[in-house]
Amino acid sequence: MAGANVSMVKQHFLDSFLNPKSIAIVGASTNPKKMSYYMVDNLVKFGFPGKIYPVNPAVSEVLGIKAYPSLKHIKDDIDLVASAVPVHMTLDIIKECAEKRVKGVIIISGGFSEAGEEGARMQHEIAHILKQNGIRAMGPNSLGPVNTSNNFLVSFQSVGKLNRGGVSFIFQSGFYELRINWILSDFHLGVSKVLDLGNKMDINEVDALEYLAEDPDTKAIAIHLETVKGDGRKFGQLLRNTSKNKPIIVFKSGCTAAGAKAAGSHTGSIAKENDIVFDALLKQAGVLRAHSIEDLFDFAKAFEFLTPPGGNRIAVATISGGEGVISTDICQKNGFVMAEPSQRALNKLRVIFPPWDIPANPFDYGPCQYAHQLGKIYRVFLQAMLYDDNVDCLAVQLPVFGFYQDSEDLYEPFLLAKEQKKPIAVWRTGLSRRGDVLVERLESNRIPVYPSAERAIKSLSAICEYATMHEEDI
């Protein structure tokens, strides 16, 4: 039986939360105005291949799927239970889960340790029962996991699309709730898995990272942390070992005294980490720190779409000279040096620049537009720079959204950057990720588009920083 044991060790317990063969949704509603309606709807819509058991004593079916009055009424084994019933009803559900010997429970509801003594007491009791019965739990206050590779998601928002890719997320709290659709559907980012851990009563960031470290579909990991609930030393080790192969970005909130106090009252834990210590831990582990929500997602997209450049010499193209100066400041502040393109590359640009203009980096392609189409300008510029050995990476401004008529094939010259393996970050003032054909084309071809020069160049610099931190590992 040794062989069987090895294979059981290899199967991480979080697999039941991301690849369940069956899921029961307790509190599933037939009313599209209720959030719990979408927990079933999303699974059906995206074609989750496992069994779905809606549990609701008031209805006989949900979206054409037979519903059960309680967990006990389900005869088959159940891998995973998602509980969306109010706080005071949760304990009974947990007891049923124990009787039913399910593998895992996701507690969606809030009102536990984050809500004062009574809630903390209930959470404690639930934790006790689960532990006694060997059932692992995500939450309370979890918004549920996502695994795009098997169309599995537990979410009470109606999700538009599932953009598949290599970034996995570990979240702790409700700011994910506000952004579910944006992350999975509108942001054009390729997502592999999402683990929203809520109060971290049982499953914590160490478990989640352990799983994603070994997950072959996960290429980069983005983490939002309020508190570290697991073993800090183990977490540090995991970060260090994992980041050698997979870039990790951490955004930590509750890092000021007031913020830590707020975090304590919110997730029912006291923030113990001193921020300076935490910062040192991340640096030692070769992990990038994001200092805002925007950073976290911007950097994640850079890691998903781009490979680090061979050096820090950057060529910049803007649509006005003023924007060029601003961008150059940003480049220098973020560790880039302005590339000095070869005379050969500069000569190539003569085709698009007016006779009176001397092309120099940062390149102001504004005046080129009076005589040439944007597609030609991009093609000539990108060909010249991408084939030049003096240029390692590029940052290019698109015209303001809605200001010029975008032609459909405008994105094509940018594909050359992929071919030449030189990372390129693009920005567009007034950026819209809905209905902006050019941005959609670029991002579906893994050219990231940001809303400002600052965010584009900072994101490009994040992948450079990662490469520098791990020079010895590579």
- What residue ranges bind a second copy (CB under 8 A)? 87, 110-111, 114-116, 118-119, 157, 172-179, 181-182, 224, 226, 253-259, 261-263, 265-267, 292-294, 319-326, 328-329, 331-333, 337-338, 354, 356-358, 360, 362, 364, 366-367, 399-400, 403, 429-430, 452, 454
Shortest distance (Å) from residue 113 CB to a second copy: 11
CB 80 within 8 A of CB 105: yes
Residue closer to a second copy by CB (options 137, 319) is: 319
User: In this structure, which amino acid lies at residue 203?
Assistant: I
Q: Is the dihedral of CA 308, 314, 315, 320 positive or negative?
A: positive
Residue closer to a second copy by CB (options 50, 160) is: 160
Residue closer to a second copy by CB (options 149, 429) is: 429
Shortest distance (Å) from residue 100 CB to a second copy: 27
CA distances from 402 to 33, 49, 407, 414 (A): 35, 42, 12, 20
Shortest distance (Å) from residue 6 CB to a second copy: 39
Residue closer to a second copy by CB (options 23, 331) is: 331
Shortest distance (Å) from residue 254 CB to a second copy: 5
Shortest distance (Å) from residue 158 CB to a second copy: 10
Residue closer to a second copy by CB (options 141, 151) is: 141
Shortest distance (Å) from residue 252 CB to a second copy: 9
Q: Which two tokens stand for residue 364?
A: 């102001």
Residue closer to a second copy by CB (options 151, 361) is: 361
Shortest distance (Å) from residue 328 CB to a second copy: 4
Helices (H), 37-178: 37-46, 87-100, 117-132
Shortest distance (Å) from residue 329 CB to a second copy: 4
Our separate counts of H helices and E strands in the chain read 17, 20
Segment holding 169, helix H or strand E:
strand 164-171
What SS3 class is residue 360? coil
Shortest distance (Å) from residue 410 CB to a second copy: 17
Segment holding 459, helix H or strand E:
helix 453-469
CB 14 within 8 A of CB 195: yes
Residue closer to a second copy by CB (options 57, 356) is: 356
Cα–Cα distance measured from residue 406 to residue 386, given in angstroms and rounded to the nearest whole number: 23
Residue closer to a second copy by CB (options 219, 433) is: 433
Under 8 Å CB-to-CB from 149, ≥6 apart: which residues?
Answer: 164, 192, 217
Cα–Cα distance measured from residue 87 to residue 73, given in angstroms and rounded to the nearest whole number: 22
Residue closer to a second copy by CB (options 47, 356) is: 356
Shortest distance (Å) from residue 175 CB to a second copy: 4
Residue closer to a second copy by CB (options 180, 467) is: 180
What dihedral angle (degrees, nearest 10) is formed by the CA atoms of 173, 220, 147, 130?
-50
Q: What is the DSSP string of 55-72?
A: E-TT-SEETTEE-BSSGG
Q: Give the burial class of 59: count Cβ atoms within 10 A of its Cβ; 0-12 exposed, 13-18 middle, 19 or more buried.
A: middle
Shortest distance (Å) from residue 221 CB to a second copy: 18
Residue closer to a second copy by CB (options 102, 464) is: 464
Shortest distance (Å) from residue 70 CB to a second copy: 23
CA nearest 316: which of 375, 251, 372, 365?
A: 365
CB atoms within 10 A of CB 49: 9
Describe the strand order of the beta sheet including 220-225 as a list of residue ranges: 152-153, 146-147, 191-196, 164-171, 220-225, 248-252, 288-290
CB 453 within 8 A of CB 397: yes
CB 399 within 8 A of CB 429: no
CB 199 within 8 A of CB 140: yes
Residue closer to a second copy by CB (options 59, 338) is: 338
